[in-house]
Amino acid sequence: MEIYFTKLHGNGNDFILINELQGTVIPDDMKPVFARLYCDRRYGIGADGVLFLSGSATSLFKMRLFQPDESEAEMCGNGIRCLGRYIYDANLAKDFCTVETPAGEITMEMKGTGEGGFSAVVSMPTPRFDRADIPAEGEGEYKESIADYEVYAVSVGVPHAVVFVDEIAHIPLDEVAPIIRRHHSFPEGANVNFVEIAGENELRIRTFERGIEGETLSCGTGATASAAVAHHLAEQGMAAMAPIGTTVEVHTPGGPLTIYLDEETKMEGPAVSVFTGVITF
């Protein structure tokens, strides 16, 4: 048996993509285990998740994402750009496509950027500030463990916690983030973003991702959530910060993303195809 795959990344957030447009390659009940085995960076291919591209009854394509802990994510900003890169390179669609995800239909504008480059503008789920605990003030062990932090909750198809700090470089991410990620106010868990205001319309972030259970080089939904919260606070006069408008440059450890917060919420960034391969049994 042979399984063909493509390895891609969006600002260092990397994925294995399996094309199932012609039929199921990995049975649905095996997809979680497949992700756990092949995302392993020592014994597998190595990735932050496995993307499955298939047909859709409602959109041009469908995307499912399984993570190393065997969970399925609702949406992934870097992942969907990688899916777009594969679609673009394979001539399955040019310029524009729609993708069904568990978080709803996503539209994507795609373009080559010269010398083999690629960029996509992705319509993101509208940020929801519908949580009673914004800011999500902790109690008990939670408050004692993160006493110096104020946590804001927002959903962009995926639940996120956003924490503003003076300097992200000095945050003990692996110690603090898991406490927030598993706090009872996030019944499905949350990705945790530590955010530094870098200047006018400019943020720096580090993200601890659920499902990966560690820091990733970039998180597209995290960048969107962080920009949305920063803009919301600036509009409300709730935080002393540089002006954060409707176009925000977000610097992740793996590279920049541009977030647009106009009538529609959009994310723009690159995606790179790294290599193709075959798993042989």
Phi then psi for residue 119, to 5 deg, are -140, 150
Q: Which of 210, 224, 216 is nearest to 179 (CA)?
A: 210
The dihedral formed by the CA atoms of 47, 111, 73 and 140, expressed in degrees to the nearest 10: 90
Gap between the Cα atoms of 17 and 79, Å rounded: 9
Query: Which residues, listed in sequence order, are joined to residue 209 by a DSSP beta bridge?
Result: 214
Among 39, 82, 97, 219, the one annotated catalytic = 219
In 125-201, the DSSP E strands lie at 151-155, 159-164, 191-199
Whether 219 is catalytic is: yes
Active site residue 39: no
Q: Single out the residue of 37, 35, 77, 40 nearest to residue 52, CA to CA.
A: 35
Active-site residue among 39, 76, 82, 97?
76
Catalytic residue numbers?
Answer: 76, 219
